[in-house]
Amino acid sequence: MMTIDDFNFEKKKALIRVDFNVPLDEDFNVTDTNRIEAAKPTIIKVLEDGGSAVLMSHLGRPKGQRNDAMSLKHICAKVSDIIGVQVKFVDDCVGEEAEKAVAELKEGEVLLLENLRFYNEETSGDVDFAEKLSKLGDIYVNDAFGTAHRAHASTTIVAQFFPGQKCFGYLLAKEIKSIEKVMRTGEKPVLAILGGAKVSSKITIIENILDKVDHLIIGGGMTYTFVKAQGGTIGDSICEDDKMDLALSILEQAKAKGVQVHIPVDVVAANDFSNDADTQIVDVDKIPDGWQGLDAGPKTLEIFKEVILKSKTILWNGPVGVFEMESFAKGTISVGNFIDEATQKGAFSLVGGGDSVAAVKQFGFQDKVSYVSTGGGAMLESLEGKTLPGIAAILEG
């Protein structure tokens, strides 16, 4: 796997695909700088070698139209602050103006190109557009895991114009290694904690990881599809009735492969989907009519704790309750605490997928786990066993 450490960028221009698709407030201030900070080590490596960096990214979904609100000029000052170098900006990403700005770039300088998605050719993976992008650098560096599952011009197609001169940036290399640790090289026992509302959105992940894990914790809303499938009473809890056969088949597959599945035994049930609802703790398979399970119960958390603390490799994808409401956040916070404890004892813990990442940030766990993935969809497709086009394009040499 060619990484940025395999190259010396002295007197070279690095064309770096970063993921600066960051949230902005109404005054165009960046409200979450994580993605910019994540790209910093790669950019600094290029500059310290004596090279220059040409950064390309998308922002939002302008759908091929120029849109001032989605211009990357708005983030230029913040990128300069974080990197510690005054970042130049050019208001195009291909063509004469962009090529002139790159030609004038000196060693140690950074140039940010305008939003790639102002061109439909970016998302359609247009080869001519990718070739135009390729004129803007000597070495191609992909450091955008969040878009590695898309065969876009800047993430995949452009790589073919850099034979032997392409590599992964530090962030993307870390993402690949973290997923490999869970899926292939991790120390046993390996545990996957899968939460969230629906079995249907996690089927392919579950089926793919059953060969890799020793323990599987099922939490969140999909619990109730498994419980009802096994004959339990779930009151008004969320349930995918058409996935009950699938839930039973997953349990059978797990048993055949020697995977221990842990499903909640008790839950915090509420008489309304509201933070102020009345609550009671009930057995997961005896939830009364008019009540719905919204968080893991105390007995369940004891079981989860035991499993988490004896695991050496942990994947956490999805919360175990409606953590957005304070009344039903205890389960997710507890799981975070257990993973923190296991990590301190030497376990490798990877958190990925939108909701679990949001929970980890909300409750301050990002520095207490081994790695928090930056890519939602890309992470999920990796766990499903798919080869991501943005990764394959670099590996093809």
Residue numbers in the known binding site are 19-21, 35, 58-61, 117, 150, 202, 293, 324, 353-356
**Which amino acid does the sequence have at 127?**
V
User: CA-to-CA distance for 171 and 158, rounded, in angstroms?
Assistant: 19
Q: Which of 35, 212, 243, 330 is catalytic?
A: 35
User: CA-to-CA distance for 226 and 222, rounded, in angstroms?
Assistant: 7
Q: Are the C-beta atoms of residues 348 and 247 closer than 8 Å to each other?
A: no
Q: Which of 64, 232, 354, 385 is catalytic?
A: 354
In sequence order, the β-bridge partners of residue 14 are: 53, 139
Tell me the binding residues for ATP: 202, 293, 324, 353-356
Burial 239-249 (b: 16+ CB within 10 A, else e): bbeebbebbee
Annotation says 17 is catalytic: no
Tell me the binding residues for (2R)-3-phosphoglycerate: 35, 117, 150
Q: Which of 40, 135, 198, 386 is catalytic?
A: 198
Annotation says 95 is catalytic: no
Smallest CA-to-CA distance from 237 within 227, 246, 247, 252 is with: 227
- How buried is 67 (Cβ within 10 angstroms: 0-12 exposed, 13-18 middle, 19+ buried)? middle
Annotation says 146 is catalytic: no
Tell me the binding residues for substrate: 19-21, 35, 58-61, 117, 150
* Pairing of β 292-296 and β 266-270: antiparallel
Assigned token pair, 135: 């004129």
Q: How far is CA 150 from CA 334, 375, 393, in A?
A: 35, 12, 11
Q: How far is CA 246 from CA 229, 251, 265, in A?
A: 9, 9, 20
**Cα four-point dihedral sign 44, 145, 165, 135:** negative
Taking the CA atoms of the chain, what radius of gyration do you get in angstroms? 23
Q: Which of 64, 377, 385, 386 is catalytic?
A: 377
Annotation says 100 is catalytic: no
Q: How far is CA 391 from CA 3, 9, 151, 381, in A?
A: 11, 21, 10, 12
Please list the active-site residues. 35, 198, 354, 377
